[in-house]
């Protein structure tokens, strides 16, 4: 089954063509980062309008890239949540309109399910069951994954997400938006040992996280250093990255130990972080475990993960290919354990 998938939950418009057996056939992506940069964050109304401008040209581009026409598509998929309501509605409306016009099923996909299954687009493909570490701009969760659609929450952040912690501390350091990649870059020339930052919940027995205290700690250190001291700022960036990554690695290893599983799948934008990748590989090797990541360009939001998740759902019998909808809905807030039909 060939699936045409749409992602528009936040500030990336993504369209892709994928199948369960062949994986990704083509994808087209437009990031709105440059547009939102001058505001220091995503402006929801601007995001919705830009999705409207970009989505059809990107759909044409994805189909062309796959060498397919719309007549060869078997199903349409779209991110139905969580995310910005207006932005979600753009992808949902376009997908539903195409499905209605071509008499195709339209499959609503949970955005985090897309992230979570995206490491299956890389080689080697991790086999089920595995533990997933979802680290994105809005979420930090550890999930036990027994198969497509079988997700059990093991732990999550009690306040800020890991990506949010990167973004907020980057802002304090005067770095651009989005802060994660900028902070990681600055950290490369810094000494992580110079500042001792808190590692919240590092030794707690649960699998939860807490990152909101980190930005206060960074703010305090900022006041102690000279803002013009480039080395001090790099050292602080390195210490911040080290603190976030240390907690993520420790909790991921703890989740593997508690579940008795050996495979860890990392998904979401923070999964692009090189220190996280290195530290996880080093921490899991002695435990006989292994970490799996999506292809680097598919760590942040994209249409590929949505088309692919729908294709896997169809193959697993978790989406009805004969279903035609009279109406549809989006869910700005939505628990992954309830992934499936957002209307239910």
Residue from 11, 113, 167, 242 touching Mg ion (CB under 5 A): that is 11
Work out the number of other CB atoms within 10 angstroms of the CB of residue 21: 8
Least separation in angstroms between residue 341's CB and ligand ATP is: 20
Cβ atoms of 208 and 158 within 8 Å: the answer is yes
Least separation in angstroms between residue 135's CB and ligand ATP is: 8
* Site map 174..193 versus ligand ATP, x via CB under 6 A: ----xxxx--x---------
Q: Which of residues 291-310 bind Mg ion (CB under 5 A)?
A: 301
Least separation in angstroms between residue 142's CB and Fe ion is: 17
Q: How far apart are CA 143 and CA 264, in angstroms?
A: 10
Q: How far apart are CA 116 and CA 253, in angstroms?
A: 18
Work out the number of other CB atoms within 10 angstroms of the CB of residue 278: 12
Q: Which of residues 120-139 bind Fe ion (CB under 5 A)?
A: 136
Q: Which of residues 249-268 bind Mg ion (CB under 5 A)?
A: none
User: By CB under 6 A, is residue 294 in contact with ligand ATP?
Assistant: no
> Which residues are CB-contacts of 39 (< 8 A; sequence separation ≥ 6)?
46
Q: Which of residues 130-159 bind ligand ATP (CB under 6 A)?
A: 136-139
Residue pointed to by tokens 């649960």:
206
Cβ atoms of 32 and 11 within 8 Å: the answer is yes
Which helix (H) or strand (E) element contains residue 251?
helix 230-259
Least separation in angstroms between residue 307's CB and Mg ion is: 18
User: By CB under 5 A, is residue 169 in contact with Fe ion?
Assistant: no
User: By CB under 5 A, is residue 7 in contact with Mg ion?
Assistant: no
Q: How far apart are CA 222 and CA 241, in angstroms?
A: 15
Cβ atoms of 308 and 120 within 8 Å: the answer is yes
> According to the annotation, is 159 in a ligand binding site?
no
Least separation in angstroms between residue 102's CB and ligand ATP is: 29
Q: Is 321 helix (H, G, I), strand (E, B) or coil?
A: coil
Q: What angle do CA 284, 290, 291 make, to 5 degrees?
A: 95
> According to the annotation, is 301 in a ligand binding site?
yes
> According to the annotation, is 91 in a ligand binding site?
no
> According to the annotation, is 167 in a ligand binding site?
yes
Q: How far apart are CA 204 and CA 133, in angstroms?
A: 17
Name the CA dihedral angle for 122, 142, 255, 286, rounded to a multiple of 10 degrees.
Answer: 30
Q: Which of residues 249-308 bind Fe ion (CB under 5 A)?
A: 301
Residue pointed to by tokens 């955005």:
111
Residue from 91, 130, 273, 294 touching ligand ATP (CB under 6 A): that is 273
* Site map 34..73 versus ligand ATP, x via CB under 6 A: ----------------------------------------
Binding-site ranges for Mg ion (CB under 5 A): 10-12, 301
Binding-site ranges for ligand ATP (CB under 6 A): 10, 83, 111, 115, 136-139, 163, 166-167, 178-181, 184, 268-270, 272-273, 300-301
Binding residues for substrate, by number, are: 134-138, 167, 180, 273
Binding-site ranges for Fe ion (CB under 5 A): 136, 301
């Amino acid at each position: 089954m060939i699936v045409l998938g749409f992602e528009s939950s936040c500030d990336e418009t993504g369209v892709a063509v994928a199948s369960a057996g062949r994986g990704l056939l083509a994808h087209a992506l437009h990031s709105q980062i440059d547009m939102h940069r001058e505001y220091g964050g995503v402006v929801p109304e601007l995001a919705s309008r830009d999705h409207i401008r970009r989505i059809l040209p990107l759909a044409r581009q994805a189909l062309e890239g796959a060498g397919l026409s719309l007549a060869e598509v078997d199903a349409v998929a779209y991110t139905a949540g969580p995310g910005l309501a207006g932005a979600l509605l753009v992808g949902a409306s376009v997908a539903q309109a195409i499905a209605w016009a071509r008499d195709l099923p339209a499959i609503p996909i949970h955005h985090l399910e897309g992230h979570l299954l995206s490491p299956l687009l890389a080689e080697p493909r991790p086999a089920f069951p595995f533990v997933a570490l979802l680290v994105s701009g809005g979420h930090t969760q550890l999930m036990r994954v027994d198969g497509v659609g079988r997700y059990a929450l093991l732990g999550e952040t009690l306040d800020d997400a890991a990506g949010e912690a990167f973004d907020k501390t980057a802002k304090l350091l005067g770095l651009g938006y989005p802060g994660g990649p900028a902070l990681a870059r600055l950290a490369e020339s810094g000494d992580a040992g110079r500042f001792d930052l808190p590692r919240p919940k590092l030794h707690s027995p649960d699998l939860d996280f807490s990152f909101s205290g980190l930005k206060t700690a960074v703010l305090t250190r900022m006041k102690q250093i000279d803002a013009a001291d480039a080395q001090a700022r790099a050292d602080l960036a390195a210490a911040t990255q080290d603190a976030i990554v240390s907690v993520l690695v420790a909790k991921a290893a703890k989740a593997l130990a508690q579940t008795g599983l050996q495979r860890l799948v990392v998904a979401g934008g923070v999964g692009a972080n090189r220190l996280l990748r290195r530290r996880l590989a080093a921490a899991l090797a002695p435990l006989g475990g292994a970490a799996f990541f999506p292809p680097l360009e598919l760590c942040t939001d994209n249409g590929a993960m949505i088309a692919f998740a729908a294709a896997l759902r169809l193959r697993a019998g978790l989406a009805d290919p004969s279903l035609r909808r009279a109406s549809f809905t989006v869910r700005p807030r939505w628990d992954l354990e309830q992934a499936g039909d957002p209307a239910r």
